Amino acid sequence: MSKSMAYNFCLLLSRLQYCESKMPREELKSILEGIKESCICIGNGGSSISSHFAKLVLEEKNGIICTHMQPRDVLYTNLNLYKNLFAVTYRNENHGITSALERARLNRLRTYTLTNNEKENGLDTLLYYETMLEKEASFISMASTFMPMTILLKYYMGNDDLSELLDHIVTRAKKIYFDYDEEASVIEIMSGDTTYVASKLLESSITEAGLGMPIVHEKYDYCHGRSTMSYHHPNHILVYLKNGETTELDYLLLNNLPSHYKEIILLESDEEDKIIGEYDLAMKALYFCGSLALAKDKDISKVEYSPVVKQLYRYKGDL
């Protein structure tokens, strides 16, 4: 493993524990409990993963209708159906997020921003979380994805200290390892049953780091034609995600698919609570990506990215 990648994985737990400990539970509770009506959650890149987790937490904890969207979708959505917009953005400088927040305010939605940028704009309710002094220098978001997820987990659980739980989750995820076959460049991902955060993390990280070509399937949707792919291309790898109990559909798929794939890798969480399980599974998905990068001799912290990346990343025109 490269020094940069090893460094970021090594510091991940302490970064999460630090930011969680610095966020006052009562302040967090007061702000998030105030979201009592329909809400849109948005984020780009790694923050899109955190945003989807926010959707799950607010829906379950607050008992409201909550929808996860890409920021650009907000510009083309009937906002009269919603009362709140919740944005997750690490630096709070994302053009798509800014555009979505502006349209939401024009439509009289209450806006909230969960961010590491403490600069107030006087327009949004800001949830600022502190980080360690050592900045994460990584192409693939690690701590910057999991820090806001950790803050949301703190609200969901209502705990003053998640240090022990975080240590337990990261320690188990560190054990993720597999032998990778270089010939299998396509990685299929089987998702569903509150595994969507983990599947989004896998799809996004594998794509951005150039680790392979990921294809995400919803488990039941797979039964309606998508199984044809593995029949015609049996050398693919399948990452099967499972959160909680094994359903009848899980048994059906896991018993019938081994002959159609070069390898099936089961990533699962045995947490009784599925929100905690989603966080746990996402952590395992991150360490799976680290294991995949190690097997392919790649560095997900210093990716050899396409020359067009900077030009596209800096775009600030009409969306």
The pLDDT score that the predictor gives to residue 133 is 62
316 inside domain: no
153 and 10, same domain (yes or no): yes
Tokens standing for 259? 């002959």
Listed residues 138, 169, 200: the one ending a domain: 169
Over 80: is that where the pLDDT of 252 sits?
A: yes
| Confidence check: pLDDT of 54 > 70 | yes
184 plus 95 within the same structural domain: no
Euclidean distance between CA atoms 74 and 31, whole angstroms: 22
Q: How many domains does the chain have?
A: 2
Q: Indicate whether 87 and 232 sit together in one domain.
A: no
**Which residues are within 8 A (CB) of 229 and not within 5 positions of it... i.e. 6 or more apart?**
188, 215, 236
- 97: CB partners within 8 A, 6+ apart: 42, 43, 44, 47, 71, 87, 89, 113
303 vs 82, more confident: 82
Residue 314: pLDDT above 90? no
Residue 61 falls inside a structural domain: yes
The domain of 206 spans 175-295
Q: Which two tokens stand for residue 114?
A: 């969960």
User: Is residue 300 included in any domain, yes or no?
Assistant: no
Q: Is the pLDDT of residue 315 over 90?
A: no
pLDDT of residue 122: 87
User: pLDDT tens digit string along 137-167?
Assistant: 888 889 999 999 999 999 999 988 999 999 9
Average pLDDT over residues 124-142: 86
Q: Residue 235's pLDDT is what?
A: 85
Confidence of residue 2 (pLDDT cuts 50, 70, 90): confident
Question: Does any domain span residue 317?
Answer: no
Whether 180 shows a pLDDT value over 80: the answer reads: no
Q: Which helix (H) or strand (E) holds 255?
A: helix 248-256
Q: Taking the model in full, what pTM does it have?
A: 0.95
How do residues 68-96 score in pLDDT, each as one tens digit? Answer: 999 999 999 999 999 999 999 998 888 99
Provide the CATH number for the domain around residue 236: 3.40.50.10490
Task: Lowest mean pLDDT of 43-57, 137-151, 182-196, name the range.
Answer: 182-196
Q: Please check whether residues 134 and 18 belong to one and the same domain.
A: yes
Contact at 8 Å (CB) between 85 and 109? yes
pLDDT score of 179 more than 80: no
What confidence score (pLDDT) does residue 42 get?
A: 98
Assess whether 16 and 131 both reside in one domain. Answer: yes
In a domain, 256, yes or no: yes
Looking at residue 309, its pLDDT comes to: 83
Whether residue 33 sits in one domain with residue 158: yes
Please say whether the beta carbons of 123 and 97 come within 8 A.
no
**Mean pLDDT over all residues of the chain?**
93
Same domain, 194 and 105: no
Are residue 132 and residue 256 in the same domain, yes or no? no
Judgement on whether residues 185 and 162 belong to the same structural domain of the protein: no
Give the end of a domain, one of 169, 194, 219. Answer: 169
| pLDDT number for residue 27 | 94
Same domain, 69 and 198: no
**Quick check: 178 pLDDT over 80?**
no
Supply 180's token pair: 């990778």
For 263-302, the pLDDT digits (tens) are 999 999 999 999 999 999 999 999 999 999 988 889 999 9
- The share of the chain scoring above pLDDT 90, in percent, equals 77
Report the pLDDT value the prediction gives residue 145, as an integer from 0 to 100: 96
pLDDT band at 310 (very low <50, low <70, confident <90, very high): confident
In a domain, 54, yes or no: yes
Bridge partners for 66 per DSSP: 39
Q: Are residues 143 and 205 in the same domain?
A: no
* End-to-end C-alpha distance for the chain, whole angstroms: 39
Examine residue 301 and state whether it is found in any structural domain, yes or no.
no
pLDDT at residue 185, rounded to an integer: 86
Q: Are residues 185 and 285 in the same domain?
A: yes
Contact 87, 42 (CB under 8 A): yes
